[in-house]
Every structure is written in C-alpha cells, then in structure tokens.
Structure 1
Amino acid sequence: MPDVIIHVLTEEETHAALPTLAEILSDCVEGGASVGFMQPFGPEDAVPYWQGVAAAVGRQETVLLVAELDGRAFGTVQLGVATMPNQPHRADIKKLLVHRDARGLGLARRLMDKAEAEAQKRGRRVLVLDTATGEPAEAIYERFGWLRAGAVPDYALMPDGRYCATTFFYKHLAG
C-alpha cells in the first residue's frame, strides 16, 4: 500500500484545503455517488458545503479527517459528534469520499479506522451511517464490520435524479 497519512483538520486547515476538498466531492458526485448533491456538480458548487463543514469543525460539532497520498488529499470522512443530550455515546459517520483516481488503495479503510479511533477518543461507542442501497459503498461497510439495521425505499435521489433506497448501518466500538 502506498504511504498514506490521515490528518484531523482544524477549522483553519479545512479552509486552506477547500479547493482540494471541493475537487474530491465534485469527483465523487460526478462519478455517481449519492452523497446529497445532484449532477452536474463542479468543484465551485462544493465550496459552500465545505465552508459549512469548516464552521462545524470550528464549533467542535464535526471531526474532519483527510487521507493524503504523496502530499495530496484524495479522501475524506467526517465524524459527526453534535448529538442530542441523550446520545453522548453516539456519533455519525458522514461523507466517506475517495477520489476516483485513488480508489483501490485502501484509503477508505484507513479513513474509517481513524474515524473509529477518533470516536473512541471522544467517548463514543456507537457509530451510525447511511449509504445508497446496492451501491459499492454498501459492500465496503459490510467488509469493515458494520451491521445492517435496515433500508428505506425511495429515501433519496441519485445524482442523476433516480430514486434510491438508503441502507442504515451501525457499529459498536470496543470499550
């Protein structure tokens, strides 16, 4: 596996990385990933989203992780830790994104492992996520030991406008 470094970004680092983060998100949406956005979706369309993430990082509501390969970011995932008062033990995995140029290199696994470690550092022991049913990410989460909770038909739209079901997963962390 190539030399991959996983970073947790601060608000300032997130702002500095906006062009790269926008390119990763745009590439994933243009590649058909159902992550909340519709095609066409260029990097300039992604900037406002990442500005909001930067603000959430600054408020300590989100932990943003980035995977770098040879000094360039190719993947990212978020850990949502802004939960209701009766859920201090839980966190949400959001927007696992790997640029198409870097798929198959283990970045998703490394990002998820680091997100789980960050969750444990923050006292979180139950993680949840959702993904488009039948898409490659669904199988990835199962390989990573996530458990299927169920699916909701017609929950969202694919980037091209087709309806898609969404599968919800959870994982209990040790300790």
Structure 2
Amino acid sequence: MIVISELKNEPYSQDFSRADLLSLSETLEGCVALGASVGFVPPFGQAEALTFWHQLLPIFAEGQRRILVARIDGKIVGTVQLVVSMSGNGAHRAEVAKLLVHPNSRRLGIARKLMQSIEKLAKRENKSLLILDTVTDSEAQGLYHSLGYEVSGVIPDYAMSTKGVLESTTVMYKKI
C-alpha cells in the first residue's frame, strides 16, 4: 500500500530521520542515474544526494518549501516538493519541484498520487496556480498533461542532461 504524507522539519521534530534522509538520497541518486533532469549530472552519488537533502532542511523548516513523500512498507520511495514562498505579486502561485520516484518503485501510480496530493496541499496553502518545468516530450510531461497541466512554452537548450546534451524544457501550469 502506498502512503503519502508530509515531512516537516520543525524544531524538535523527528520527521526527518536518518533512514528517511537515506531513502530520499537513494531515490534521488537512482533517478539521476536513469537520466532524470533534476539539476544534477554525473558523477553523482550518495554523498552529493545527502548534501542536497541536508541543505534543504532549513528551507523546509522555514516553510518556504513543503515536501511530500510516498512510502511503501514504511520506506520512502517517492517525493515531490512545493515551493510556496513567492514574492508579493505571486502569493497566489506555487512551483512544483523535484518529483522523484525510486527506479524500483515505478509504474505503481506513485507519481500521479504525489501530484494529486501536492495539488491538495497547494489548495490548503491558498494557491490557485501551479507551475513546473520538465524535459520536453518526456514521460513526465505526459503525466502532467494527463493531470490537466497546460504548456506555457518551451525553452531550448535549457539544461544539461546526464549524458552531457543540452535539452529543452517545457514550462507548464495548472489553475487549481
């Protein structure tokens, strides 16, 4: 059974256990190894993944970003973030970031469930517009389209792939 929940990094909170940080790192490392365009290029390993998550802990604690995780049998196998801290004229919107599903847990509907849950969280945060970007013509773009996201535009040569090739990104949005 897939369980979706929010992790919180508040003072005295035990939500981010060492095991959870390791699971998040394994998921990130596995996704990058399979070519996910999430900001990292090889060489990339557990040390870099752990550093990434540790750097985000204060941002989660400040409430600038929120993080949802998917668990199977108690272990984190997927995650997505919601960037809620926007400037005054953008207080109504949030950015969806770092949708990741561990390679061994794909094709179980985890990404869809995480996205549906992040939309509910965004509504609770009084957001009416979600934005995201993804590799153009990727499977992820197909998922987002199936969830009602619309294409705003394409930016050519936006990011370096894990194979060293510049890829286009598609910017998408959804009114919620």
Q: Secondary structure at the match of 1:128?
A: strand
**What residue ranges of structure 2 are gaps of 5+ in the alignment?**
none
Equivalent positions of 1:48-127 (< 5 A) are: 48-127=51-130
- Which of 17, 25, 28 pairs up with 1:25? 28
- Which of 132, 147, 152 pairs up with 2:150? 147
Structure 1: distance between partners of 2:56 and 2:68: 11
Q: Secondary structure at the match of 1:22?
A: helix
Over aligned residue pairs, what C-alpha RMSD do you find? Answer: 1.0
**Match of residue 16 from structure 2:** 14
Q: Secondary structure at the match of 1:26?
A: helix
Q: Secondary structure at the match of 1:33?
A: coil
- Superimposed CA distance per residue, residues 14-38 of structure 1 (whole angstroms, 9 cap, x where no aligned partner): 3532111111000000010111000
TM-score normalised to structure 2 length: 0.94
**What residue ranges of structure 1 are gaps of 5+ in the alignment?**
none
Report the residue type matching 1:14 in the other structure: F
- Superimposed CA distance per residue, residues 54-112 of structure 1 (whole angstroms, 9 cap, x where no aligned partner): 11110000110000011111000000001011111100000000011011101001100
* Identity within the alignment, %: 39
The answer to whether the 8 A contact 1:80-1:91 is kept is: yes
The answer to whether the 8 A contact 1:15-1:54 is kept is: no
TM-score normalised to structure 1 length: 0.94
